[in-house]
Structure 1
Amino acid sequence: MASRKDGGGGVGSVVDEAIGLLKRRIETGEFAPGHRLPPEATLAAELQLSRPSLREAVRALAMAGVLEVRRGDGTFVTDLRPDRLLNAIGSFLELAQDTGIGEMFECRKVLEPGATALAATRIDDRALAGLRERIERMRTLQDPEELVREDLAFHADIVAATGNLTLQSLVSSVSQLTARARIWRALVKSDVLSWTHQQHMDIYTALSAHDSLGAFTAATRHVSDVESWVRERLDAVREHEENRPVP
């Protein structure tokens, strides 16, 4: 993914800004459903963006179903339902004001690694086979919401293998509260598929070996990496908003 190289914003902040600029033009009707976007060079100049940053923004919006790239014909705004843009893109600025998101990730770091370690001592072959199927299915997904939905199910299946219903309820509640941040991450991080696959495989390998310490370590690394990425983005968005000129 392109990143800001002019000393401002933060990693990826230029791409986030590009997504916001395109999103506003769509929401205001300037780019109506069925509208073909101007050529890349023209639009980049209009928005005062680099072409790589614009390209990443278009890619993210295409993944969300907001734009459709027709090879050889151009990029078009899809026939949006009013709720699709909000649900697929989410409001990252709104998320940035949610001070509870950090606490939710802390809860994940406390609960999920321990639950995964416990599962390593109890999981059976049938549950392991189901996890492997989910991992392979996730490799084929492109839609961020579907990917996160399958990711939530993967971790839920692991906790279910503990046989502890109370633990399942606790982990499920916390995981659902961080889902919005995880969808945004899946939407804008270009290597999220390979990253997710490898870390899930690390967890699966430890579970298959009934290695509690390995499972705990792999789950901790997985949750911590997602948390670090989200915190960096939130900080970049807050800084951008604080430094935005007042009209």
Structure 2
Amino acid sequence: MNSHADNGVSASPTGDGRSQTDVVVDEIKRMITSGSLTAGARLPIEKDLAISLGVSRGSLREGVRALCIMGVLETRQGDGTYVTSLEPSLLLAPMSFMVDLHSPDNGSHLQSVRRVLETEAAGLAARHIGADAIAEADAVLTSIEPMVFQSDGLDHDAIMEADIAFHRIVARASENPALEALIEALASRTIRTRMWRAISEEGAVRATHAEHRAIQHALATHDPDAARLRMGTHLLAVEEFSHDHADEATAATEAQ
């Protein structure tokens, strides 16, 4: 038996140069991909798993913590450690943290990635969207029309909530959970620019609403090409605004 398996301190790197924590991460990942561990499965008890992997219990805990952060494992108090559902929304959630740390000066880069992803999502949604989702999208847009077409006193928070809801409907209707999760991960870092555009650019709210309606029509008629074109054009306007007004958006964000 390896003497280091029971101590609480990470031992030296393994013969292949990996740290013991890396061994834990790699081996548990291998167990999942090979089918030895499946979604919802409980990991062996700590002592046995540490011996099996040839690592210290301290290294095992470090590896498990890392996999919990990644959304691969979850620790249940008093009940052990389990493999999560492995849904894309869980596994890609840490990406939103990286996106939040992205420099505001590079906001247009994120908008560009968002445009690529959501354009494809719109095309897929046009193929798969059902009557309920179409009605839901229509209801979201209809709910803000009274304020969109008024001359003053816009409720920008309500308008932005509707904007977010509409794009989520489209992403969900793509029926591609990985794509939906990637789009959601980008949402938090692009909302600020979208809000600043709505506040500062004259006519932006009405233009955005018209673009959303055009996207909704393409979805309702199940026209993938039109849906991609409408979504791409819509998000290109946001991307260009982000590029041209990066300093203003950053200053407005810092002032909040």
TM-score by length of 2: 0.52
Matched, 1:172 2:184: yes
User: Equivalents in 2 of 1:167, 1:233: separation in Å?
Assistant: 28
1:125 deviates by 0.8
Q: Give the alignment of 1:149-160 within 5 angstroms.
A: 149-160=161-172
Alignment partner, residue 129 of structure 1: 135
User: Equivalents in 2 of 1:207, 1:195: separation in Å?
Assistant: 19
CA shift digits 1:22-49 (9 cap, x unpaired): xxxxxxxxxxxxxxxxxxxxxxxxxxxx
User: Equivalents in 1 of 2:224, 2:144: separation in Å?
Assistant: 24
User: Equivalents in 2 of 1:237, 1:149: separation in Å?
Assistant: 19
1:191 deviates by 1.0
User: Equivalents in 1 of 2:142, 2:249: separation in Å?
Assistant: 34
Q: Which structure is larger by alpha-carbon Rg, 1 or 2?
A: 2
Q: Which moved more, 1:189-198 or 1:212-221?
A: 189-198
1:150 deviates by 1.2
Q: Is the 1:116–1:216 contact (alpha carbons within 8 Å) kept by the matching residues of 2?
A: yes
User: Equivalents in 2 of 1:236, 1:159: separation in Å?
Assistant: 29
1:235 deviates by 6.1
Supply the RMSD in Å over aligned alpha carbons: 2.2
> How many residues are aligned here?
144
Tell me the percent identity. 27
TM-score by length of 1: 0.54
1:145 deviates by 2.2
Amino acid at match of 1:202: A
Q: Is the 1:101–1:178 contact (alpha carbons within 8 Å) kept by the matching residues of 2?
A: yes
Alignment partner, residue 140 of structure 1: 146
User: Equivalents in 1 of 2:207, 2:139: separation in Å?
Assistant: 17
CA shift digits 1:215-244 (9 cap, x unpaired): 000000000011112222226789xxxxxx
Counterpart among 112, 116, 119 of residue 122 in structure 2: 116
In 2 relative to 1, CA 237–135 (structure 1 residues): closer, same or farther, beyond 3 Å?
A: closer
Matched, 1:181 2:193: yes
1:123 deviates by 0.3
Amino acid at match of 1:172: E
Alignment partner, residue 111 of structure 2: 105
Q: Could you tell me which runs of 5 or more consecutive residues in structure 2 were left unpaired when the two chains were aligned.
A: 1-102, 148-153, 251-256
